[in-house]
Amino acid sequence: MKTFWDFCAPFYDFAEKNNGTTYAEMLQLVRAFVPQGATALEAAAGTGAISLAIADRASQILCTDVSEKMLKVARRKAKKRGVRNIAIENRNIFALGEADNSFDIIIAGQVLHLVDLPELAAAELKRVAKSTVILPMCLLKDLRGKAKLSVRLWKLLGFEPKIEFDTATYAEFLPKIGFDGCEIVEISGKMPMVVAIWRKANNN
């Protein structure tokens, strides 16, 4: 069955770039939290923008999503850019199929507000993380102007967030699903974003 994510795969990158410098700043911020030579897994990667942005820092990346059409775009982009240290595979965020502590860095951007059981997704992300989980999120609560209209359009097409955040409510949400003690960095813009960083060493 074709999902909303399969449907929007061909124009997903355009929608992300529509958030302009905010999205670009998020990518640079995530890069800064990936140590040189780290191994990384990205869950719910979509078309692989974050995975590709960190490819020159990570030694090996596993880029995953449940939408094969999204992954097809990611594979095409990786090939075009000559990225060789990336594997792109269909995986479910609730069952990533990797051993405990398999990757130095786990990244899951803009997904925990979309699933029915975010605490189960969080547990799986923490399980496979050796060191750090990075959780970028677009803030949809109380948007105005063109940003608000853009989200309304996405909802008409089938986008169904279970919850919409501002910085404060995202900070409150994360401990409730198991991500205690996150560092949260805000990124301003017409559609603002935050990047939350959870460190395993601080929570053992």
- The DSSP-derived string for 69-84 is HHHHHHHHHHHHHT--
Overall average pLDDT of the 83-108 stretch: 97
Residue 170 placed within a domain: yes
Residue 115 placed within a domain: yes
Cβ atoms within 10 Å of 134's Cβ, excluding its own: 24
The pTM of this model reads 0.96
Overall average pLDDT of the 72-93 stretch: 97
Residue 48 placed within a domain: yes
Which helix (H) or strand (E) covers residue 51, if one does? helix 49-53
Q: What is the pLDDT of residues 40-49, one digit of tens each?
A: 999 999 999 9
The number of distinct structural domains making up the chain is 1
Distance (Å, whole) CA 45 – CA 110: 9
Distance (Å, whole) CA 89 – CA 97: 11
Residue 147 placed within a domain: yes
Both tokens of residue 177?
Answer: 């699903």
Residue with tokens 């097809």: 72
20 has a pLDDT exceeding 90: no
pLDDT of residue 202: 75
Overall average pLDDT of the 132-145 stretch: 95
Distance (Å, whole) CA 122 – CA 133: 9
Residue 204 placed within a domain: no
What rounded mean pLDDT belongs to the chain?
95
Q: How does residue 204 score in pLDDT terms, banded at 50, 70 and 90?
A: low
Residue 64 sits in a domain of what CATH number? 3.40.50.150
Given a contact cutoff of 8 angstroms between Cβ atoms, the answer to whether 122 and 170 are in contact is no
Residue 31 domain boundaries: 4-199
Interacting residues of 53 by C-beta distance below 8 A, sequence separation 6+: 27, 28, 30, 31
Which contacts (CB < 8 Å, 24+ apart) does range 1-5 have?
3/66, 3/67, 4/157, 4/158, 4/159, 4/160, 5/46, 5/65, 5/66, 5/67, 5/69, 5/70
Residue 16 placed within a domain: yes
Distance (Å, whole) CA 155 – CA 167: 21
